[in-house]
Amino acid sequence: METVNKRNAGTELSDVLGSQGDSLTVGMKLCPEQAKAYNDILYCRTPKMGSHSLSCDSCGTVKVCYNSCRNRHCPKCQYVKQLLWVEKLKCRLLPVRYFHVVFTVPEFLKPLFYLNQRECYGMLFSSSALSVKKAASNPAFLGVESGCLSVLHTWGQALNYHPHIHMLVPAGGPDPDHMEWVAANKKFFVPVKALSQIFRGIFMEKLLFALQANQLRVPEKQKDLFAAMGLLKKEAYSKFWHVYIKKTFKGAGQVVSYLGRYTHRVAISNSRIVGVQGRTVRFRWKDYRDNKSKIMELPCAEFIRRFMQHVLPNGFYKIRYYGIMSSANSKTKMEDCFRLLGIRRFISFYEGLSTYEILEEILGQDPFRCTCCNRGKMVYGLAEGKGKEP
């Protein structure tokens, strides 16, 4: 019987987590979600995660594979999920240009966000989506019904806490009567400063309501600020709420390619970790001030503390759809959009395929072919006399 579990040649995140044993987490208060993510990543594809056996239906060779943790924060467990999600997304993307918009919040709100992640992330999602909807529907700008795909990221390149929304917005939309598709010009359909002000106003309205209803925990050091609504408004409206619009994508193909690299990212990938030496870890990061790639060295405990900041609340969806792109409108308004554009909706290539067939297509080879006889297939359940494809 052979035990097989492939891993990359370089240092992995699990190596950093396990480099100093339990001493690293002493004094580090982890919530249940963080503790689970820590253990899942540490023991992913190891005996502690359990195992399953595959037997060749030709020569009888048996191989034992350790189970993956399937935690969404694990850098080793996102690849297939990412590819399947991208393929599914092709069916609902309109074949038009897209704008990439980034929404951020001022620095003084970050402690409040960290204490109230589920509530504040939710407000960030809804406020950014509503601001695009209002801007697009305004006749002075474009006057259409719009939609968006929003992705939450909470980190910067140095693993600092930086909650922000990446959004893809179609460059156009159906008119109010759904009789015509109105395309936006090459620039975004609303000035960036105007969109920033709309976003700030909507978010602050939601924030003040939540504070008055005692729905949020207030940071101890900022109690005076959040207790006085006038002071809070003055602080919020004196800051610039950064909204950034990147270059447009020319079509759905570029969007899908971009999303495949972007949406299922975790705070740091294994490829960015250079190595662990003693109690320090070195990793690559991009400094956007000069657009250069650099090496940062941190104590392992500090590295883990920064990484754990980005573990999301249990069951929280970090990818959401709004407006014409929402699931509720998939069979109605989106069908109208395809009709107005004169394009038939794409049907997923993976529709109706088994998990085994999907993996074979993704990996470009037969991932379960027996390496001993090169003829048989590694399948489950042969011990009971009934072979079963994964």
CB atoms within 10 A of CB 313: 12
Q: Provide the residue type at 178 as one letter.
A: H
272 pLDDT above the threshold of 70: yes
Mean pLDDT of the region 33-37: 93
Model confidence band, residue 325 (pLDDT cutoffs 50, 70, 90): very high
Rounded to the nearest integer, the mean pLDDT of the chain is: 86
Q: Is 78 or 146 the better-scoring residue by pLDDT?
A: 146
Which pLDDT tens digit goes with each residue over 180-220?
A: 999 988 778 888 899 999 999 999 999 999 999 999 999 99
Instruction: Give residue for tokens 């474009």.
Output: 142
Q: Is 87 or 3 the better-scoring residue by pLDDT?
A: 87
Model confidence band, residue 386 (pLDDT cutoffs 50, 70, 90): very low
Return the pLDDT at 385.
35
Model confidence band, residue 361 (pLDDT cutoffs 50, 70, 90): confident
Return the pLDDT at 345.
78
8 pLDDT above the threshold of 90: no
Q: Is 52 or 164 the better-scoring residue by pLDDT?
A: 164
Return the pLDDT at 155.
93
**What's the token pair of residue 96?**
């038009």
Instruction: Give residue for tokens 């982890």.
Output: 30
Strand 51-56 vs strand 62-66: parallel, antiparallel, or unpaired?
antiparallel
Which pLDDT tens digit goes with each residue over 66-75?
A: 888 989 999 8
% of the chain with per-residue pLDDT over 90: 53
Contacts of residue 309, Cβ cutoff 8 Å, sequence gap at least 6: 114, 154, 155, 159, 161
**What's the token pair of residue 290?**
């000069």
Contacts of residue 21, Cβ cutoff 8 Å, sequence gap at least 6: none
54 pLDDT above the threshold of 50: yes
Return the pLDDT at 25.
64
Cβ(170)–Cβ(139) below 8 Å: no
Q: Is 377 or 117 the better-scoring residue by pLDDT?
A: 117
